[in-house]
Amino acid sequence: MSQFFYIHPDNPQARLIKQSSELIHKGEVVVYPTDSGYSIGCHMNDKAALEQICRIRQIGKDHNFTLMCRDMSELSEYARVDNTAFRMIKNNTPGPYTFILKATKEVPKRLQNPKRRTIGIRVPDNKIALALLEELGEPMMSTTLILPDRIIAESNPDDIRDELEKQVGLIIHGGFLGEHPTSVIDLSEGETTVIREGSGDLTPFI
């Protein structure tokens, strides 16, 4: 049975954020709210937790994983960012964007795209997610919670509990969220390419 925490979306309780962080450090898989629906994540160095996420979502190792970061300094440690890309990302984060960048050696190879050696990087505009990342003190491996045979992210934490309470270590109830997928921007080759049009203004990237 998983833990189920009700965390206030505007004023996250420090005690519950700390407990959530401790569970992640112990190897638990967590479902948590972002600005684009619910995501599922784990400690980025935990191979077993990553494999559990792949089983839940029924995805392979070639899936494009994302590192959720708390700020730009953290982002720069895990992705290669030139000055132009840095300014572009800084001007649009936190926000509903996932940026595809070349990974640094700090990113475990199993999280990188096996052919391109890239990683998705994101700074979410969600107070619970940011508080959790701040408490963790490092990025969290993450992917949108889209269950098998479905095409949109889960938005109702009570439904998520019914589906996953025996498969994850923690579910954070941070409100009922709409379906607002991120826009995916590829900056890995020195050019700006919009891979997916989602939430957020795309004008800066076109």
Domain definitions of the chain by residue range = 9-164+181-198
Whether residue 122 contacts residue 144, with contact meaning beta carbons closer than 8 Å, is answered with: no
Report the CATH number of the 9-164+181-198 domain: 3.90.870.10
Per-residue confidence at 129, pLDDT binned at 50, 70, 90? very high
Q: Closest Cα to residue 69, out of 23, 132, 154?
A: 132
**For residue 73, what pLDDT is reported?**
87
The pLDDT value given to residue 18 = 98
pLDDT averaged over every residue in the chain: 93
Residue 138: both structure tokens together: 């490092």
How far apart are the C-alpha atoms of 165 and 175, rounded to whole Å? 17
Task: Return the closest-CA partner of residue 121 out of 65, 82, 61, 73.
Answer: 65
Per-residue model confidence as pLDDT tens digits over 19-74: 999 999 999 999 999 998 899 999 999 999 999 999 999 998 778 899 999 999 89
Cis preceding linkage at 96, omega within 30: no
DSSP class of 1: -
For 103, the enclosing helix (H) or strand (E) is strand 97-103
pLDDT of residue 112: 94
Cis geometry, peptide bond prior to residue 94 (ω within 30 degrees of 0): yes
Asked if the model's pLDDT at residue 127 lies above 90, the reply is: yes
Dihedral of the alpha carbons of 199, 82, 143, 206, in degrees to the nearest 10: 20
* Assessment of whether the complete model's pTM goes beyond 0.85: yes
CB 129 within 8 A of CB 107: no
Each residue's pLDDT tens digit, 63-102:
889 999 999 989 889 999 999 999 999 999 999 999 999 9
pLDDT at 69: 96
Q: Quickly state the pLDDT bin for 150 (edges 50, 70, 90).
A: confident
Q: Once rounded to an integer, what is the mean pLDDT over residues 121-127?
A: 96
Give the count of beta carbons closer than 10 Å to the beta carbon of residue 119.
28
Phi, psi of 72 (to 5 degrees): -70, -35
pLDDT of residue 180: 79
Provide the pLDDT confidence category of residue 151 given band limits of 50, 70 and 90. Answer: confident
Of 32, 1, 22, 140, the closest CA to residue 78 belongs to 140
